[in-house]
Chain A
Amino acid sequence: MEPLNHMKRPSLHHCASTTSNRRQFLKTTTAAGMAWMNPLAQQLARCAENDVSETRGKAIILLWMAGGPSQLETFDPHPSQNGSEGRKAISTPLKHLQLAKGLEEVAELMNDVSLIRSMVSQEGDHERAVYNVKTGYRPNPTVVHPSLGSIICHELPENAVEIPRHVSILPNEWPARGGYLGATYDAFQIGDPGQRIPDVISPVSKERLERRLQGLDVVERAFLKGRDPEWIASHTRHRATIDEALKMMDSDQIKAFDVNLATATERNAYGDTAFGRGCLAARRLIETGVRCVEVTLSGWDSHVNNHETQSKRVATLAPALAALIRDLKERELLENTMVLCGGEFGRSPELNPLEGRDHWPHGFSFLIGGGGIAGGKVIGATDPEGIRKQPENPVRVQDLHATIQHCLGVDSEKEIITPVGRPIFLSEGNVARELLVTS
């Protein structure tokens, strides 16, 4: 069992020879008067030189469709159904598989990814359903469950990245959280990657930051008077965390966040939207060694004027999703990177009087591909007439989690003893084996 609530130290393996990166870091820290920098900090500095490609391992990108996308206007159109925008369906390379109009670019890639069209849950309220789909558990007053990305980061070995391994791009009010694993596993949140990333760049010049750090050193020394410095260092990890933050600020890897460094062709492929830039940043981050990235596209909650709302979101989603899958495939990253696309629930087959669709947790869609998931599969089916609630071959939210964890090499049957002493399985679901590459 790995320790909980403990800020793991980065792996010190593969710390190789000196390069300019390390020299630059050591020079900066020395100049900053970091007399307190211990051998561990120096080793951390050496880790900066690691080639992450060797240790990248499995990763996951969750494209979070906040508000609940309509399955009928995205991955599960029913052209025969009355009043449905889903009548406008398009074909894909797979026989018998159609997607909604607007997803032409994605349709071409359906051999590489799969669809679950029969997701079911018992949560129809946004906040509760988001919790449910992101954690695999229904909200419970006695424990806060960690989101999928946090579990993956906790369970898979650390790789030598200098930037957070769990990132949430364009989060709304419910970004991925570490829950009982602790705030250490919360996603690092950023907005539009086309903008300056908050907090990772010092608002003052390097020289001034060094002066500030020198001043900090003076204050720290006074605090240590009459205290055990080693105990303070290990108990608070305050200075160690500052070291790690400084390392991140000084790391070249931080450029992975900056999509302005990508070529214009790359940027155009993903679409000139914040979400498109988020997806491009997600790819760049995964390539750098980040383990889990969540990119949110909000605005799917179409209680009014469903068709227009959905088609606008589809226009943003389609180029970004297609470019992401293509890009990962071309860079040979798809095999180890799982891509998921879905939201907290689907939308009702029947239109309401305001031409909108309401919440529908009884059969909604998730696109899933890469990272050990077979391509070209379609699981489950909803009622073409939209009358019957229960879909064929239903996949529960917890089953989706168990399947993802299995593919990424995490034992979902493992029990974690939470900080409150209560054992909880990483997931309570069953693996959907028909989705696996080996099935």
Chain B
Amino acid sequence: MTRLTFISLWMLTTVSLVLFWLYQDKPYPPSAPKFEATTNTGKTHDKQSTSSLTQSLERNPIQNRASDLEILRRLSMALTGTIPSVEWIRDYEAWPEDQRIGLALERIFDDRRSSDYLAERFARAFVGVENGPFLVYRRRRMVDDLSEMIHANRPYDQIVKKLITAKGIWTSKPEVNFLTATIDPNNDKEGPDEIKLAARVSRAFLGIRIDCVQCHDDMFGDRWKQKDFHQMASFFSGAEMSLTGLTESEKTYEYRYKRHPAPELVPPKVPFNESLLPAEGSLRERLAAWVTHPENKPFARALVNRVWAMMFNKPLVNPVDSIPVEGPFPEALESLANEAIASGFDLRHLITMIANSSRFQITSRTLDQSENPPFPMTRLRPEQVAGSIIQSASLETVDADSHILSRVIRILQQGEFIKRYGDAGEDEFAGTGGTIPQRLTVMNGKLVEERTEENLVMNAATRISTLAPNDSVAVEMAYLATLTRRPTESETQYFTDRFRGKKKKKRATEMQDLFWSLINSTEFAWNH
């Protein structure tokens, strides 16, 4: 038996089973027992918080709540960068209604795709998207390491500490790349750039844009002085490259301030909450301890604002990395920041809290935007569009356990699509408008055509049209695979009329056209 025949048979068997499970009368076999126990995220306090939150939800049911499937789609999009598969939808619907969100989160946290995806999104804030100085910088290594830490649910403050205090060779110590990313091979200065690092640390970890005063005092207020920025940069003065990689030396930092005649020695000093800066340790160790100190609220707020932005594609305070130190703060930001601190900067707990909030679960449907704010509709990011198109072409989840062929195709096609569609780069939440080339890419591009054309082995469209027991099941499957919902009555009517009496190739063509219409819709391209 050739390998291709084997794969074909294997996939056919799988799809037949999925279809059988979906439309049999008996309930679907219960999910793996590991999901049954609890919605906790690995820590004692989580159990309490989550269960009290669940209880409060029960006491106060959310008005205008989105459907369970809509919430699943939002979770999957935010945390894995793609829509849920039909296979997963089936599992989700088999779970007890009051446990679905918790169990879905458990499955997502267990899914390597999620930590990979979140790592990439955090990395954009930490080191940007450029490949940087090749000889001393391996972005991929750093992202993989971040993914490992996120998968192990390592507290966020520990992750940040590890990055700021990194030492050693950038290939064996992936965290060193946070610093070496700032090395400018054309600059006379050897080693990481203090100015770039101060900008990164203040924006990514503290949510403040102190780097705006790099060249002059704050033009828009008295909050920041040029000194504040350079004194923070001074903490990185000792970071130096040597034969053993990045080390800490006794070097000092000098800078010539605006209207000053000559460069002067800049002492390392933090711009606020000075009492939290420890006296002991190396400069970077002291800075890391100060940045991540539980009482240094900007750190917790920056984390909450970023995670919120990842969940909603829109931050609570915009721009995501510019939160006023003295406030005022949105209520959700403050309460979640306190929760993040109390949980020991547990990322899973924070995500769970947001996912369980009424703001996340409310419908996006409204006839009047000014009335109680609905769930914000945001444009999907390029990789979310690519991931969703590829996922929609498969009934099973395309993940780390998928057949190697599926994964290779996913990586290649996703990369090619994003290249054409345009990467949002570091402007994670800039909310830039959709473009004509983007629409053309989805309307006429290779990815959509290839993933919907007649191909019994690879494409859901063909498999559904061939194997679905009747037309309305076929239409329903297509809707679930693309829009994570069932069609309305009028939609079922319209599309089953189109399928009526069509067989084989004509039927496959009709299914491909249905997939095209679904993938090109506002509903597919937007988070809602």
Interface residues of chain A, those whose CB is within 8 Å of chain B, are 5-7, 122-125, 127-128, 139, 141-142, 144, 164, 177-178, 180, 182-184, 186, 188-189, 198-203, 208, 211-213, 215-216, 218-223, 225-228, 231-232, 235-239, 241-242, 244-245, 248-249, 361, 419-422
Contact = CB atoms under 8 A, between A and B. Distances in A.
Given A216-B521, A223-B521, A202 B443 contact: yes
A231 B367 CA distance: 9
B338 interface: no
Contacts of B514: 215
Given A142-B211, A144-B427, A227-B364, 14 more contacts: A127-B130, A141-B199, A144-B425, A180-B427, A182-B433, A199-B420, A215-B494, A215-B495, A215-B498, A215-B513, A226-B365, A228-B366, A232-B377, A419-B430
Contacts of A7: 433-435
Given A182-B432, A200-B444, A219-B521, A125 B425 contact: no
Nearest to B432: A182
Interface in B471-507: 483, 487-488, 490-491, 494-495, 498
A124 B186 contact: yes
B161 to A, nearest CB: 21
Nearest to B129: A144
Contact of B377 (A5, A141, A180, A236): A236
A144 B425 CA distance: 9
B491 A218 contact: yes
A244 B436 contact: yes
Which residue among A124, A242, A421 has the maximum number of chain B CB atoms within 10 Å of its CB?
Answer: A242
A226 B435 CA distance: 27
A281 to B, nearest CB: 16
A262 B151 CA distance: 57
A199 B196 contact: no
Contacts of A188: 436-437
B379 A236 contact: yes
B422 interface: yes
Interface string B442-469: 0111100100000000000000000000
Interface of B: 128, 130-131, 133, 182, 184-187, 196, 199-200, 203, 209, 211-212, 319, 321-322, 364-369, 377, 379, 420, 422, 424-427, 430-441, 443-446, 449, 483, 487-488, 490-491, 494-495, 498, 509, 513-514, 516-518, 520-523, 525-526
Given A218-B495, A223-B523, A184 B368 contact: no
A141 B513 contact: no
A74 to B, nearest CB: 23
A227 B434 contact: no
A145 to B, nearest CB: 11
Given A124-B186, A142-B199, A183 B368 contact: no
3 closest pairs, A vs B, by CB? A215-B517, A182-B432, A226-B365
A141 B425 CA distance: 11
Contact of A186 (B211, B437, B520): B437
B420 A189 contact: yes
B379 A122 contact: no
B513 A212 contact: yes
A136 B177 CA distance: 27
A200 B443 CA distance: 9
B432 A141 contact: no
Contacts of B187: 122
Nearest to B483: A219
A236 B420 contact: no
A166 B20 CA distance: 51
Contacts of B430: 5, 180, 182, 419
Given A216-B520, A219-B523, A223-B523, A183 B424 contact: yes
A180 B433 CA distance: 12
Nearest to A121: B186
19 contacts: A128-B184, A144-B426, A183-B434, A198-B420, A199-B437, A208-B509, A215-B514, A215-B517, A216-B517, A216-B520, A218-B495, A218-B517, A219-B491, A228-B366, A232-B377, A248-B436, A420-B209, A420-B319, A420-B321
Contacts of B521: 216, 219-220, 223
B517 A141 contact: no
Contacts of B420: 189, 198-199
Contact of B436 (A144, A177, A226, A245): A245
A222 B438 contact: no
A218 B444 contact: no
B186 A128 contact: yes
A184 B369 contact: no
B516 A228 contact: no
A419 B522 contact: no
Contacts of A227: 364-367
A420 B211 CA distance: 13
Contacts of A231: 369
A241 B186 contact: no
Nearest to B135: A125
B455 to A, nearest CB: 15
Nearest to B64: A226
A106 B440 CA distance: 38
A177 B435 CA distance: 13
B523 to A, nearest CB: 4
A223 to B, nearest CB: 4
A222 B440 CA distance: 23
A226 B196 contact: no
A214 to B, nearest CB: 8
A238 B522 contact: yes
Contacts of B321: 420
Given A202-B443, A419-B319, A212 B516 contact: yes
Contact of B444 (A141, A203, A213, A238): A203
B433 A5 contact: yes
A360 to B, nearest CB: 12
Contacts of B494: 215, 218
